[in-house]
């Protein structure tokens, strides 16, 4: 798949608009989903998605092929959504807002049984942006920690730390909600 994307990037660098359209069709949905998960605003995400692919069009010739095309494009989306959040003035949401802490596996495994989408959505929103991004890339996009580090522009160790904390906080939040029977 990545060799196909790299082929398209070469064509885009040469000004091929059909190749741009093909790459857009291949990656639009996951990139959009990632942006929405960060910004929580589908309309604003539309504009950022547009800007991301305009950047792809304008700077395809600077893509050196050392990373996956998908990783490179997610990196653009990551930086653009950071810009938006900075403008909004909300970079760090609290991740210490849980009033009940219980990360026992028994409570956590209740997740497998019920309608938990609302719980997961809620708990993801309580995470700090960096934590949420790392978990989102790991679970929505199935990226390796090395790829996530590339997207975020940080060392792999930083991503491992973020994932460690994000997972812990996510499980605590979910356990707390399940224990309390939050609908």
Using left for φ > 0, alpha for ψ between -120 and 50, and beta otherwise, residue 93 falls in beta
Q: In degrees, to the nearest 5, what angle opens at C-alpha 41 toward C-alphas 133 and 181?
A: 70
Q: Closest distance between other proteins and the C-beta of residue 79, in Å? A: 19
The whole-angstrom separation of Cα 165 and Cα 132 is 10
Question: Is there binding between residue 77 and other proteins (CB under 8 A)?
Answer: no
Give the single-character DSSP code of 98: -
Residues 146-165 that bind other proteins (CB under 8 A): 160-161, 163-164
Task: Count interface residues toward other proteins (CB under 8 A).
Answer: 61
Q: Which residues bind other proteins (CB under 8 A)?
A: 1, 4-5, 7-8, 15, 17-29, 32-33, 36, 42-44, 46-47, 49-50, 53-54, 57, 105-106, 108-109, 111-112, 116-117, 120-121, 124, 135-136, 138-140, 142-145, 160-161, 163-164, 167-168, 170-171, 174
């Amino acid at each position: 798949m990545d060799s196909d994307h790299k082929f398209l990037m070469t064509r885009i660098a040469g000004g091929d608009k059909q190749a741009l359209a093909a790459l857009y069709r291949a990656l639009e949905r996951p990139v959009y989903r990632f942006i929405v998960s960060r910004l929580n605003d589908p309309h604003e995400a539309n504009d950022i998605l547009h800007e991301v692919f305009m950047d792809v069009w304008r700077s395809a010739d600077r893509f050196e092929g050392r990373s996956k095309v998908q990783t490179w494009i997610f990196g653009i989306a990551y930086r653009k959504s950071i810009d938006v959040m900075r403008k909004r003035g909300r970079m760090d949401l609290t991740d210490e807002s849980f009033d009940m802490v219980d990360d026992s596996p028994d409570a956590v495994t209740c997740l497998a049984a019920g309608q938990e989408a609302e719980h997961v959505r809620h708990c993801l929103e309580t995470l700090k942006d960096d934590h949420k991004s790392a978990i989102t890339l790991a679970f929505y996009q199935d990226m390796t920690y090395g790829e996530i580090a590339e997207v975020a522009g940080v060392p792999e160790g930083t991503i491992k730390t973020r994932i460690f904390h994000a997972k812990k906080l996510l499980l605590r939040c979910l356990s707390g909600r399940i224990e309390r029977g939050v609908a």
